[in-house]
């Protein structure tokens, strides 16, 4: 077995690390390929939810840093609430 690319397969079997397109596909695979393994894990790649990539949105930490910089520079910011202001 070589390395497997999960770019187009965001779901992964916890036992054999095989990638799949949907959660249902992983569950069917586990039922058929690993019937004796109970509580086999199902993993989803970070940032992939319902086919949309959410990596474009900044995290709360990034927003808090930007808000702190804006406040120290005297610029207005809508994210001051992240700093308790």
> What is the distance between the alpha carbons of residues 1 and 24, in angstroms, rounded to a whole number?
23
Residue 26 CB burial class (10 angstroms; 0-12, 13-18, ≥19): buried
Kindly state the DSSP code that residue 79 receives in the 8-state scheme: -
More confident residue, 35 or 7: 35
| Same domain assignment for residues 40 and 62 | no
Question: What is the mean pLDDT of the segment spanning 58-68?
Answer: 88
What is the pLDDT at residue 53?
A: 53
pLDDT band at 14 (very low <50, low <70, confident <90, very high): confident
> What is the distance between the alpha carbons of residues 69 and 64, in angstroms, rounded to a whole number?
9
List pLDDT tens digits, range 16-60.
988 898 889 999 999 999 988 877 888 887 665 555 555 567 788
Range of the domain at 11: 1-45
* Strand order from edge to edge, sheet including 19-20: 19-20, 11-13, 42-44
In a domain, 33, yes or no: yes
| Same domain assignment for residues 35 and 14 | yes
What predicted TM-score, i.e. pTM, was given to this entire model? 0.47
């Amino acid at each position: 077995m070589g390395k497997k690319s999960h770019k187009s397969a965001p779901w992964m079997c916890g036992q054999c690390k095989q990638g799949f397109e949907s959660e249902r596909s992983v569950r069917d695979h586990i039922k058929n390929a690993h019937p004796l393994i109970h509580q086999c894990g199902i993993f989803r790649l970070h940032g992939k939810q319902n086919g949309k990539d959410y990596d474009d949105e900044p995290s709360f930490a990034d927003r808090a840093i930007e808000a702190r910089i804006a406040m120290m520079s005297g610029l207005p910011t809508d994210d001051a609430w992240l700093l308790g202001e």
